[in-house]
Amino acid sequence: MDENGSRLKWAYQDHWRRFGAGGPVMPWTSVSELDRFIKQIAAIGFTGIQTFDWNLYAMREMFGSTTGFEKFLQERGIEQVVDLFHARSYDQTGSPHLRDTHDTLFEECRVIMELAEGLNVQNLIVMPAALYPDVAPVSDDQIKAAAELWSRVGEMTLQYGVKIGAHHEFFCGIRNADEVEKFYEWSDPRYVHFFMDTAQHVIAGLDPVQLYNRWHERVSGFHFKDTHNVDVNDDYRKRPDSELMAPTTPRWFHEMGTAAGLVDFPALVRAMREHGYSGWVGVEHDKANFGGNYAESTAISAWYARNVLEPIYEGRA
C-alpha cells in the first residue's frame, strides 16, 4: 500500500484461515493454499507478511529453502517476510523469569536465526515473560531476569541483522505500566526493542499513544488491531489461554475501523509521524473467525490503512 510514495509499508500478520467443507483450512497445509492466501493479501495492497517461526520448517519443506519461499512471495507481489513471531510456550524447561533456563531459550533463538538465513527478517517477536499466573506475584527480580535474557538474545540476533521485539500480550507477566517501565529501563536499549500491539495494551489498561511517545526510540514494529474491551475482571489470569477462556467477551480482537473500537489509531499515526517512524507496520486480527472471518477483516483493515491512516500520516488529513 506504499505505491503512492508513503513512508509506511503494510505487512499482514499471518493468522489466516479459510473455511472449507471440513472446517478451517490453514494456508501452510499446501503450496496451493499458500498461493490462494498470498494472492488475496497482495490483491488488497499488503507488500509484506509476518508469520510464526515454526513455519520456517514448512518453507524449507515446500520450497527447498527460505530463498525459494521468498521468490514465491515476490512473484505474487509480496516483498518479504518482515517479522517472525517466536510463539514459544514457556514452562519449566524455558521461561524468561527462570535464569537457569536462559541457556535453553538462547539456543532455541539461535537455531531460529540459522533457519531464517536467506530472509530479510527485521524482528524476532517474543513475549518477554511467561503467562501471568506462571509468574505471579511478579517481582522486580523476575523482570530483571527477563531483561537479562532478552538483552543477551538480542545481542546475538543482531549479529544476523534481526532485532528482538518484545510483544506484551495482556496476559503476559510483564503487562501493566509499572512492569513495562521497569522492563525497558533494565534491558539493554541496543538489543531489546518494543514491538507494540495496540489492542493488547488497551486490554491491559494502557494507552498505546502514551506508550509510543514514551518509548518511540525503542519501538521496532507494530501489530495494528483493535479491541472493544478492557480487561476489568482479571481475565488475564485465565488458563490456559486468556484470549479464549475469558467469560466476559467472545471476541477480544477486531479489525481497525469499527465503531466500538478503543484504539485511537489516528492519534498513534500522528505520533509516529511526529517522531519520524517510517517503514513496516503490521496489521493483525487474530481469532477473527470468532464472530467474523479473516478475508473480510483483512479487507476492511486494508481499506482503513490506505484511506484513513495514510492520509493522516502524510499530512493530507
| pLDDT mean by block of 10 residues, the chain; 317 residues | 70 89 89 96 97 96 97 98 96 98 98 96 98 96 98 98 98 97 98 98 98 98 96 91 80 92 98 97 78 84 96 93
Place of cell 503476559: 172
260 vs 139: CA distance, rounded Å:
35
What are all long-range contacts of 133-137, with beta carbons under 8 Å and residues at least 24 apart? 133/237, 133/239, 134/90, 134/91, 134/95, 134/173, 135/97, 135/173, 136/173, 136/237
Domain spans of the chain, in order of start: 8-313
Comparing CA positions, the residue from 144, 120, 272 lying closest to residue 198 is 272
**First-to-last CA distance in the chain?**
17
The pTM (predicted TM-score) of the whole model is: 0.95
What is 8-313's CATH superfamily?
Divalent-metal-dependent TIM barrel enzymes (3.20.20.150)
Contacting residues for 74 by C-beta, under 8 A, at least 6 apart: 80
Specify the pLDDT at position 293: 82
Query: Which cell numbers hold the place of 65?
Result: 529453502
State the Cα–Cα distance between residues 228 and 34, nearest whole angstrom. 31
Region of residue 291 (left: phi > 0; alpha: psi -120 to 50; beta: else):
left
Q: Is 130 helix (H, G, I), strand (E, B) or coil?
A: coil
Distance CA 47, CA 261 (A): 25
Q: What pLDDT does residue 287 have?
A: 64
The pLDDT assigned to 247 comes to 80
DSSP-derived 3-state class of residue 268: helix
